[in-house]
Chains A and B, each alone.
Chain A
Amino acid sequence: MENSLNLAAVTFDGVLALVLLVLAWQLLRSPNLFKAIVLFISFGLMLSLAWVRLKAVDIALAEAAIGAGLTGALFLTALDRLQRNNQKAGDSLISQPGKVIAGISVLALTCILGWTVWTLPPFSNQMLALVSSNMPISGVENPVTAVLLNFRGYDTLLEIGVLLLAAVGVLAVTPSAVMVADSAPSPILILLLRLLLPFIILVSGYILWIGKYAPGGAFQAGAVLAAGGILLATAAVRFNLSASKALPLATGIGLLIFLLVALATMMLRGNYLQYPVAQAGTLILVIEAAATLSIAAVLVLLFVGLKSDADCPVPGEDSKNFIFEEENTIK
């Protein structure tokens, strides 16, 4: 479907673009942090519609798994801890002239970028031609997975290392490694877990497997698994981070297996990360399975690390009833 300018497509994309801009504008402008975070969650959901309209289904999968499952949970947990003593989101500390200068310079930057986008040279298809000509030897049919795991495997190897660093960073900052939930989960929540968790694990495996033929793969599957893990973590009453051996181990497994395969290929075939064509598909699947596990473990660790910093609530403090009171947002 080439980008024909029929009316339905133009109006849909126009409205979606407008929605994205309005959501972003309202989200950045609102001093009430909770409202900003809810707007950000909706922004993520609308953004994955934009990915779909741009025919980037892999990214829409990742955005859906991360936008719907993870970002909201991370922000809400952090907000809950930050607003324990009603620290209001104060306004800027920049002087008035400073604001004007910043505004003008950002506006100038945006106009320059907009002009360059408008006058971009026509698209040269070398990369696309290069990828599609090498697809047969990549061992998978989905071009994005081929680029991720085969043609640019080294980039993904380092990227999983970066995820590990983030997990180490959060653990370093977590003083109390014990996450204590405040109340026993209601039986309805346990029912939700019993219904959804097996389904989430099944879908995660399906997304991992489908990655070879259609949009899917390690990152999306890892994000879905992590969302299931977060659902479990919120229902858990108590979770001792330092005692749990499985989670930290699982975070390392992806990088370890990727490195082992890389070194093995270097030993056998002389150059780093060049898979033998016959076994390329299975090797990629092995790496992806390990990567899914470690991505899910890292993302769950990030959430639990954030949540386990929660010092227990100070009884008697008349912190206003956050959920249902009229929020007094300062203007």
Chain B
Amino acid sequence: MNYYLWPALFILISVVVGLVRILRGPTAADRMMAAQLFGTGGVAILLILAQAMQMPSLVDVALIYALLAAITMVVFVRCQWRSHENTGEMEDESH
């Protein structure tokens, strides 16, 4: 059953490659996107581990991940929205 760990390993490596974008990413939004890549990759790894380690309760962990992935992003965009406010963009904000 452990041979399922190989795909989990490769997806983990692809997620780690996203780490470079966090370190290098010029803008804050790039960094936030890479963090979301960690989230989606994490869900995939969890699903494979659920089969590899024969623990069906891991699917609940993946379910929580999937649900809450959007929250950090929403807080980031809503929270950093304020600094956009200061630069007095002409367009109307709420559309």
CA–CA, A189 and B57, complex, Å? 31
Q: Does B90 contact A (CB under 8 A)?
A: no
Of the candidates B28, B35, B49, which one forms a contact with A322 in the assembled complex, judged by CB atoms under 8 Å apart? B28
A22 contact set on B, CB distance < 8 A: 19
CA distance A207 to B64 in the complex (A): 10
Closest to A181 in B: B78
Chain A residues with Cβ below 8 Å from B38 are 41-42, 45-46
How long is the Cα–Cα vector from A22 to B64 in the complex, in angstroms? 25
**For chain A residues 20-59, which have a beta carbon within 8 Å of chain B?**
22-23, 26, 34-35, 38-39, 41-42, 45-46, 48-49, 52-53, 55, 57
Contact B8 A80 (CB under 8 A): no
Q: Interface on chain B toward A: helix, strand, loop, or mixed SS?
A: helix
Are the C-beta atoms of B57 and A68 separated by less than 8 Å?
no
A147-B3 Cα distance, complex, nearest whole Å: 34
Taking a contact as CB atoms closer than 8 A, the residue among B6, B57, B80 that contacts A80 in the complex is B80
* Interface segment out of the listed A95-103, A154-162, A250-258, A311-319: A311-319
The chain B residue sitting closest to A14, CB to CB, is B9
Tier of interface size on chain B: 35 or more
Closest B residue to A74 by beta carbon equals B75
Which one, A38, A192, A321, contacts B74 given CB within 8 A? A192
B11 to chain A, nearest CB (A): 10
Q: Given A52-B58, A77-B75, A323-B83 in contact, is the A42-B67 Cβ separation under 8 Å?
A: no
A186, CB-defined interface residue at 8 Å: yes
When the two chains form their complex, are residues A64 and B61 in contact, meaning their CB atoms are under 8 A apart? yes
Q: Which of A1, A4, A69, A76 contacts B53 (CB 8 A)?
A: A1
Contact A313 B86 (CB under 8 A): yes
A323 partner residues in chain B, CB cutoff 8 A: 27-29, 80, 83-84
Is there contact, CB below 8 Å, between A72 and B67?
A: no
Some 24 contacts from A to B, beta carbons below 8 A apart, are A9-B2, A11-B9, A15-B9, A16-B12, A41-B35, A42-B34, A45-B38, A49-B42, A52-B46, A68-B65, A68-B68, A68-B71, A72-B72, A80-B82, A183-B81, A207-B64, A210-B57, A210-B60, A214-B57, A313-B83, A318-B87, A322-B28, A326-B26, A327-B27
9 smallest CB-CB distances across A and B, nearest first, come from: A8-B5, A184-B94, A72-B72, A322-B83, A68-B68, A69-B68, A73-B75, A42-B38, A38-B31
Interface residues of B, Cβ cutoff 8 Å to A: 1-3, 5-6, 8-9, 12-13, 16, 19, 22-23, 26-29, 31-32, 34-35, 38-39, 42, 45-46, 49, 53-55, 57-58, 60-61, 63-65, 67-72, 74-76, 78-88, 93-95
Which residues of A are in contact with B by a Cβ distance under 8 Å?
Answer: 1, 4, 6, 8-9, 11-12, 15-16, 19, 22-23, 26, 34-35, 38-39, 41-42, 45-46, 48-49, 52-53, 55, 57, 60-61, 64-65, 68-69, 72-73, 76-77, 80, 181-186, 189, 192, 196, 199-200, 203, 206-207, 210, 214-216, 220, 224, 227, 230-231, 234-235, 310, 313-327
**Other contacts beyond A80-B83, A189-B74, A323-B29: 18, CB < 8 A:** A1-B2, A4-B2, A8-B6, A41-B72, A42-B35, A48-B65, A57-B55, A64-B64, A69-B71, A72-B72, A73-B75, A77-B75, A80-B82, A192-B74, A231-B74, A313-B83, A318-B87, A325-B27
